[in-house]
Amino acid sequence: MADKVRIGFIGVGGIARHHLNQLKPISKAEVVALCDLNEAAAQAASSDHGGTVYTDYHRLLDQEELDAVYICVPPKFHSDAEILAAQKGCALFVEKPVALTLDKALEIQAAIEQAGVLSSVGYTMRYWLGICAAREFLAGKQASMVCCNRWGGIAGGPDHWWRNLDISGGQLVEQATHQVDAIRWMLGEIKSVWARYEQQSMAHHENFTIPASQALAFEMVNGTVGTLTCSCAMHKGGGGGGWDILLDGQRVSIQGMDAKLLPPPEGEDGALFSSMPQMNIDEGFVEAVATGDGASIRSTYADAVRSLEVTLAANESAATGKVVECRLGR
C-alpha cells in the first residue's frame, strides 16, 4: 500500500476546487501538479493546495511522476489527456460527463482498458446515503415506474460555458446526468429513450443556447418505465429534485440524502438505511489508488459511458422525434 498518492489536476475550475478541498484532509493524498489555461487560476489553486503550476497538460504529464490524474474540464474539451495519462500508468478521475460524443468516450475507454489503470468518474450520488439505501432495498425487486426531476437555475454568468450547447451538451448531458446515473445504479440499464425539449421561454438570456427544460420517457431493460425532467428555469430559486420509485403496493421516495418507504411499515417511520461504507467519492478514489483495489470506486469510466449514452440518446430523440435505443447496457 502506498503511503502517498501523488496527484495531478488538469483543469482547476469550480468542480476541481471542490475535489481539491475534499482531498485536503485525506492524509494519503498529495497534490503535486496543477494545470489550467488560466495561469492565474492555477497559481491561486497552488497557493491553497500546493503543486507545481502548468498551462500545458502535455508538459505536466511529461515532467511529473504521478500516481493519479484528475481531469476536470468542460465536456467538449475531453481530448487526449485521459489517453496520455493512462498510457503513463496513471489512475484516472474524470469529471462527468466523460465526453460530448460516444465515439470519443469509447476511444478513451479503450485506452484505459488497454493500459489496465484504475478509473473513477465523478458520479457523487453513488455515495449519497439515500441513494445507497434505496439501491440495497430495491435489489432483487421489480420496480414498476420511476419518476425523477431536477429543477434549478443557470450555472455561472453570461460568459460561462455551461449555457453554451456546443460546449456543455445541455443540462441533461452535463448536470442531470447525475440523476440518470443514479437511476441506472439503483434499477439497472435503460433500454430506450424518447425526449422533448423547450428553449423559447429563456431564449432572451445572454449567450443561452441550451434547452430551458427537458423531459424524457424511458424504458429499462428489466421492463420498468420512467420519466425524468430537468430545467434551469428556476434561476430565481424555488427549484428542487428527487426520485419516486413505485413497486407493487410500495413507493421509495428519495429526497437529498434521505430515502423512505411509503406507506411505512406499521410502527416505523419508513426510513431506509445503507450498510455500505460511508465515504465521499475522493476518499474512495484515493483508497483505491493507494491499495490497488478498485472496490471503493462505484463508477468506473466504462460504466459512466453508459450514462453518457442515455443522455446523448435523449438529445438525439429530441432532435429527430424518434425513440432512440441504448445499446451499451444490453
Residue 284's beta-bridge partner residues? none
Angle between helices 39-49 and 14-23 (to 10 degrees): 10
Judge whether 293 and 112 are in contact, CB under 8 Å: no
* Phi, psi dihedral angles at 193 (to 5 degrees): -135, 140
For the residues 104-109, what does the mean pLDDT come to? 99
Cα 94 to chain center, whole Å? 9
Fold adopted by 5-124+280-300: Rossmann fold (3.40.50)
Contacts of 319 (CB under 8 A, 6+ apart): none
Question: Are 217 and 226 a contacting pair, CB within 8 Å?
Answer: yes
The fraction of the chain above a pLDDT of 70, given in percent, is 100
Alpha carbon of 182 to those of 7, 178, 179: distances in Å? 27, 6, 5
29-35 β-sheet, strand order:
52-54, 29-35, 5-10, 68-71, 91-94, 119-121
Cis status of the peptide bond prior to 211, with omega within 30 of 0: no
- What pLDDT, on the 0 to 100 scale, is given for residue 322? 99
Topology, domain 125-276+308-325: Dihydrodipicolinate Reductase; domain 2 (3.30.360)
pLDDT in the model for residue 2: 77
Tell me how far the alpha carbon of residue 254 is from its chain's centroid: 18
pLDDT (0 to 100) of residue 329 = 79
- All three cell numbers of 304: 459512466
- Asked, colleague to colleague, whether 5-124+280-300 and 125-276+308-325 share their fold, the answer is no
Domain boundaries, the chain: 5-124+280-300, 125-276+308-325
Confidence of residue 158 (pLDDT cuts 50, 70, 90): very high
For the cut 80, the answer to whether the pLDDT of residue 172 exceeds it is yes
Do 93 and 70 meet the contact criterion of CB atoms below 8 Å apart?
yes
Asked whether residue 1 carries a pLDDT value surpassing 80, the answer given is: no
**What residue type is assigned to position 176 of the chain?**
A
Residue with cell 434549478: 152
The mean pLDDT value for 54-61 works out to: 98
Q: What is the pTM of this model?
A: 0.97
Q: How confident is the model at residue 181 (pLDDT cuts 50, 70, 90)?
A: very high
Angle at 307 between CA 309 and CA 69, to 5 degrees: 110
pLDDT digits (tens, 9 = 90+) for 258-293: 999 999 999 999 999 999 999 999 999 999 999 999
Mean pLDDT of the chain, nearest integer: 97
112-133 pLDDT, tens digit per residue, is 999 999 999 999 999 999 999 9
